């Protein structure tokens, strides 16, 4: 790692100071309450893991930054403000994506051949998974209206899905016909819903 290079124009930490260090070979970066300043592709080209927490990112060109992250494998947003539409298509090496209790984003477009894991906790976000054929694990926690796309979407778009966990206040599969095999390829399934639901263990056969 080369930590001797100084750059006056980059500001990852939010404070306006001179001479930020630029870690040209940095592979993992965790930003908290950050302001994204100017940067060059060389300064982030080696990142494999990026976590951004408690940051207002809606006003930034995140897609422009994604295009520079040629080696990124893991991307996490925690309690951030994000743009309404987010596309991960330029992150060609992305394997893991997590969004946790973030605001603003309504849809995430996924077009990633190497993506194997998505986790969405507490966000009103729908996922367009039509180009994620190798997705194997999906973890979702949120309000029912934010998860209504799941039953019909997964069978068509995620043939490789092996592990699925859904936690919401109501049951998403309660009204599906008994002959509908929604999750026939899933080998690990966790459905957590409220006690008022009429969907019981006897009806589990309708979705397997």
Same domain, 40 and 129: yes
Q: Two tokens at 38? A: 């100017």
Residue 51 lies in a domain: yes
Residue 52 lies in a domain: yes
Q: Which of the given ranges, 25-29, 54-58, 124-128, 147-151, has the highest pLDDT on average?
A: 54-58
Same domain, 105 and 202: no
Same domain, 130 and 31: yes
Same domain, 34 and 124: yes
Query: Residue-wise over 116-145: b if at least 16 C-beta within 10 A, else e?
Result: bbbbbebbbbbbbbeebeebbbbbbbbeee
Residue 168 lies in a domain: yes
Residue 101 lies in a domain: yes
Where helices occur in the chain by DSSP H, the ranges are: 41-44, 62-66, 150-157
Quote the radius of gyration of the chain (alpha carbons, Å). 19
Residue 6 lies in a domain: no
Residue 16 lies in a domain: no
Residue 112 lies in a domain: yes
| H or E element in which residue 166 lies | strand 163-167
Pick the last residue of a domain from 117, 135, 153.
135
Same domain, 73 and 130: yes
- With a CB cutoff of 8 Å and minimum separation 6, the contacts of 207 are 173, 176, 180, 181, 182, 183
Same domain, 108 and 166: no
Cα dist from 196 to 53, 73, 201, whole Å:
35, 40, 14
Q: How many domains does one find in the chain?
A: 2
Same domain, 29 and 114: yes
34-52 residue pLDDT tens: 877 666 677 788 899 999 9
How far apart, in whole angstroms, are the C-alpha atoms of residue 169 and residue 140? 12
Same domain, 121 and 146: no
134-155 residue pLDDT tens: 999 999 887 766 676 676 677 7
Same domain, 114 and 183: no
| Residue 91: band (very low, low, confident or very high) from pLDDT cuts 50, 70, 90 | very high
What was the pLDDT predicted at 1? 34
- What is residue 206's three-state secondary structure? helix
Pick the last residue of a domain from 135, 153, 184.
135
Same domain, 128 and 186: no
Give me the domain span that covers residue 40.
Answer: 25-135
Question: What global pTM score does this model have?
Answer: 0.78
Comparing CA positions, the residue from 202, 196, 203 lying closest to residue 168 is 196
Beta strand pairing call for 6-7 and 20-21: antiparallel
Residue 15 lies in a domain: no
Strands (E), 28-125: 28-32, 49-53, 74-78, 85-87, 96-100, 107-111, 117-121
Same domain, 120 and 198: no
Pick the last residue of a domain from 112, 135, 158.
135
Same domain, 84 and 115: yes
């Amino acid at each position: 790692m080369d930590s001797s290079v100084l750059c006056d124009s980059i500001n990852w930490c939010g404070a306006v100071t001179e001479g930020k260090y630029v870690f040209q070979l940095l592979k993992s970066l965790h930003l908290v309450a950050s302001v994204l300043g100017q940067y060059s592709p060389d300064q982030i080209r080696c990142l494999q893991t990026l976590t951004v927490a408690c940051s207002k990112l809606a006003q930034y060109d995140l897609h422009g930054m994604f295009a520079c992250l040629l080696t990124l494998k893991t991307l996490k947003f925690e309690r951030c403000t994000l743009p309404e539409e987010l596309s991960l298509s330029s992150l060609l090496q992305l394997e893991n994506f997590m969004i946790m209790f973030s605001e603003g984003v309504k849809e995430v477009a996924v077009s990633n051949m190497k993506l194997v894991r998505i986790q969405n906790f507490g966000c009103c976000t729908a996922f367009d998974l039509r180009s994620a054929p190798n997705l194997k694990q999906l973890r979702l926690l949120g309000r029912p209206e934010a998860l209504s796309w799941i039953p019909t979407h997964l069978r068509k778009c995620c043939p490789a899905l092996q592990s699925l966990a859904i936690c919401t206040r109501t049951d998403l599969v309660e009204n599906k016909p008994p002959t509908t095999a929604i999750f026939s390829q899933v080998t690990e399934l966790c459905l957590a819903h409220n006690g008022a639901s009429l969907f019981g263990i006897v009806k589990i056969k309708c979705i397997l």
